């Protein structure tokens, strides 16, 4: 291996090119052999090799070995064309012929097979050394360069699809590139903004941008809010970030990323107006509205004027005494205060508490509250509404008392009705017994009368005159009707109340 390293230092390659691989190779002459040797052969960051006119590579540097994954013995053992991708061999042979004819080849690209079977893309610059008849070639791994180009292309596509406005401008503000979002924000289409001056689109003076450039010399990024002139004449507020980029030919470029804050400003204005309306509602609300801070230092952050009417304490007194909220609560109800700090309790689940006013009067309050948590889930504040429900509670108590009295009255009346029912049942029983006795006592004489009438009729044997016969028939019919009436009266006494007796109609 030392022998080959020494031989590398003895070769000279004369390579000309403008910013190509192998540029700037120093030329010397070996004092013994007189052959040209490259001082950068073992030191170059590019792939360096020497080939003969028979199609073999005779020498490579260590960078070449590392790139293809093989040592120089393996590389030099086969014709170099075997390492070239089959699709690139014809073009490689043509370039090889150009070199053997004495013509230089620059920026020639082919694919070279690595030891693991993968191909690496190489960009070649080569020429024939007339004195030795050998070909000196320098190559650069173009796979990395192309990978970078593809990566840049991917990033460019990402920026193109980004909803953020992206500009690339020169130090004087000229737009050299922008994405579709940036063009649309100006009311234009690509590539119309290219060449326009970003400074002229700002309603502010150029001095602001000069100051911005001065700040960028000491800062990585500078943020600014500006207003761009839209194509339709509107001034669109934007928030932009400026940062330095290294350009070509030592020209510094500025990258600009931003977005319109027109909707954001509109939302902020709407929020301010909404907060103002809410504050006006809160200031005039009949209920007590409050925000109590628990951490880091407990205390009231807001109390509306209704506090004085409900509690007797002014908002200022609430702000001055962080413990006033606890002092207001009746001692027997202070155990319920923990419910107000429960994050799982619903906003529509009220807590009923008794408060002691400043004048000593006790009132009932109904509180609706919600907890405010920080990012760690710790409760840091409570917002709530307290309503005086003393009148409702008292009306409820009165109603409950009335219900209790009504219930007692109904129970007494029910007892009386039960007694009356039992008395009525007793009377009905006695009445039924009496009716049975009366029925028996009345039926017996009637049966005797009807029996005697029938004996008289039989004794006369039809010899009585018509008037007597008629009177006997009427008397017998009357006794039969009397029997029916007594039976009906007996059934009526034994039937349910309200049942009307059925009277037979016998002639």
Going 484 to 485 to 487 to 492, the CA torsion angle's sign is positive
Query: Is residue 227 one of the residues assigned to a domain?
Result: yes
Please tell me the predicted confidence (pLDDT) of residue 88.
93
Same domain, 134 and 7: yes
Q: At what angle do helices 390-460 and 466-494 cross, to 10 degrees?
A: 150
Q: Judge if 208 and 296 occupy the same domain.
A: no
Residues 409, 415, 420: CA angle, nearest 5 degrees: 125
Domain finish residue from 388, 420, 452: 388
243 bridge partner residues? 221, 255
Same domain, 232 and 295: no
Same domain, yes or no: 399 and 378: no
One domain, residues 375 and 404 = no
Contact 469, 477 (CB under 8 A): no
* CA pair distance 13, 372, nearest whole angstrom: 77
- The reply to whether 272 falls in a domain is no
Instruction: Tell me the three state secondary structure of residue 484.
Output: helix
**Quick one: 301 and 414 in the same domain?**
no
**pLDDT tens, position by position, 456-487:** 777 777 677 777 778 777 887 887 888 787 77
Task: Return the pLDDT at 397.
Answer: 82
Which range (113-117, 180-184, 424-428) has the least confidence?
424-428
pTM of the model: 0.41
Q: How many domains does the chain have?
A: 4
User: Are the C-beta atoms of residues 387 and 365 closer than 8 Å to each other?
Assistant: yes
Instruction: Provide the token pair at 365.
Output: 């309050």
281: in domain = no
Do 176 and 100 lie in a common domain?
Answer: no
Does 374 share its domain with 472? no
Check residues 406 and 462 and name the one with the higher pLDDT: 406
pLDDT band at 28 (very low <50, low <70, confident <90, very high): very low
Q: Does residue 455 register a pLDDT over 80?
A: no
Check whether residue 36 and residue 51 sit in a common domain.
yes
Quick check: bond before 191 cis, omega within 30? Answer: yes
Buried b (16+ CB within 10 A) or exposed e, 286-299: ebbbbebbeeeeee
Question: How far apart are the C-alpha atoms of 255 and 140, rounded to whole Å?
Answer: 31
Q: Answer with the residue of higher pLDDT: 131 or 206.
A: 131
- The whole domain housing 451 covers 395-494
Q: Under a CB-based contact definition with an 8 Å cutoff, are residues 32 and 25 in contact?
A: no
CB distance 394 to 402 below 8 Å:
no
For residue 120, what is the domain's CATH number?
3.30.450.20
Same domain for 229 and 318?
A: no
How far lies 220's CA from each of 96, 243, 344, in Å? 50, 6, 46
Report residue 83's pLDDT band, with 50, 70 and 90 as the boundaries.
Answer: very high
Distance linking the first and last C-alpha atoms of the chain: 158
CA distances from 229 to 232, 236, 397 (A): 8, 6, 70
What is the distance between the alpha carbons of residues 364 and 392, in angstroms, rounded to a whole number?
A: 9
- The burial of 355, by beta-carbon neighbours within 10 Å (0-12 exposed, 13-18 middle, 19 or more buried), is given as buried
- Point out the domain boundary residue: 353, 369, 388: 388
Per the domain annotation, does 290 fall within a domain?
A: yes
Domain boundary among 388, 419, 449: 388
The answer to whether position 23 is within a domain reads yes
275 within domain boundaries: no
Question: Distance (Å, rounded) from C-alpha 75 to C-alpha 269?
Answer: 73
Region of 491 please: left (phi>0), alpha (psi -120 to 50) or beta: alpha
DSSP character at residue 340: G
Interatomic CA distance for residues 408 and 405, integer angstroms: 5
- Note whether residue 276 is domain-resident: no
The span from the CA of 400 to the CA of 226, in Å, is 69
Residue 499 lies in a domain: no
User: Are 28 and 127 members of one domain?
Assistant: yes
Q: pLDDT, tens digit, for every residue of 156-196?
A: 888 888 899 999 888 778 888 999 999 998 889 988 999 98
Extract the tokens encoding 248: 């070509």
CA gyration radius, the chain: 59
The token duo for 98 is 């150009």
Q: Could you tell me if 302 and 319 lie in one domain?
A: yes
């Amino acid at each position: 291996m030392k022998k080959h390293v020494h031989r590398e230092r003895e070769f000279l390659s004369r390579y000309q090119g403008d910013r190509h691989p192998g540029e700037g190779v120093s030329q010397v002459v070996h004092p013994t052999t007189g052959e040209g040797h490259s001082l950068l052969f073992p030191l170059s960051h590019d792939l360096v090799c020497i080939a003969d006119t028979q199609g073999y590579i005779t020498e490579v540097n260590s960078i070449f070995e590392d790139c293809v994954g093989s040592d120089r013995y393996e590389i030099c053992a086969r014709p170099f064309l075997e390492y070239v991708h089959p699709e690139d061999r014809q073009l490689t042979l043509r370039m090889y012929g150009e070199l053997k004819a004495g013509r230089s080849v620059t920026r020639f690209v082919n694919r070279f097979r690595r030891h693991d079977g993968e191909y690496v893309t190489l960009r070649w610059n080569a020429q024939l050394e007339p004195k030795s008849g050998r070909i000196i070639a320098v190559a650069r791994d173009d796979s990395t360069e192309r990978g970078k180009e593809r990566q840049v292309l991917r990033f460019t596509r990402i920026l193109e699809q980004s909803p953020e406005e992206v500009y690339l401008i020169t130090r004087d503000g000229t737009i050299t590139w922008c994405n579709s979002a940036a063009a649309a924000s100006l009311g234009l289409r690509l590539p119309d903004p290219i060449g326009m001056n970003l400074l002229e689109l700002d309603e502010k003076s150029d001095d602001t941008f000069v100051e911005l450039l001065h700040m960028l010399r000491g800062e990585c990024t500078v943020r600014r809010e500006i207003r761009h002139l839209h194509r339709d004449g509107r001034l669109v507020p934007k928030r932009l970030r400026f940062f330095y980029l290294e350009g070509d030919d030592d020209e510094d470029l500025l990258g600009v990323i931003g977005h319109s804050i027109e909707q954001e400003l509109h939302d902020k204005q709407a929020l301010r107006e909404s907060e103002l309306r809410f504050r006006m509602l809160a200031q005039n609300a009949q209920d007590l509205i409050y925000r109590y801070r628990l951490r880091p230092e407990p205390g009231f952050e807001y109390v509306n004027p209704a506090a004085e009417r409900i509690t007797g304490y002014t908002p200022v007194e609430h702000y001055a005494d962080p413990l006033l909220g606890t002092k207001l609560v009746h001692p027997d109800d202070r155990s319920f205060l923990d419910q107000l700090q429960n994050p799982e309790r619903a906003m529509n689940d009220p807590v009923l508490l008794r408060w002691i006013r400043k004048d000593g009067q006790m009132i009932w309050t109904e509180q609706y509250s919600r907890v405010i948590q920080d990012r760690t889930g710790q409760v840091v504040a409570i917002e709530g509404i307290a309503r005086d429900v003393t009148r409702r509670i008292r009306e409820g108590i009165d109603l409950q008392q009335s219900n209790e009295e009504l219930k007692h009255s109904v129970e007494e009346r029910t007892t009386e009705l039960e007694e009356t029912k039992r008395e009525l049942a007793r009377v009905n029983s006695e009445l039924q017994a009496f009716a049975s006795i009366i029925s028996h006592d009345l039926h017996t004489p009637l049966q005797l009368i009807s029996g005697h009438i029938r004996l008289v009729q039989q004794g006369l044997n039809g010899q009585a005159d018509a008037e007597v016969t008629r009177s006997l028939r009427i008397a017998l019919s009357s006794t039969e009707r009397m029997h029916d009436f007594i039976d009906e009266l007996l059934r009526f006494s034994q039937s349910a109340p309200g049942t009307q007796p059925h009277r037979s109609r016998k002639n």
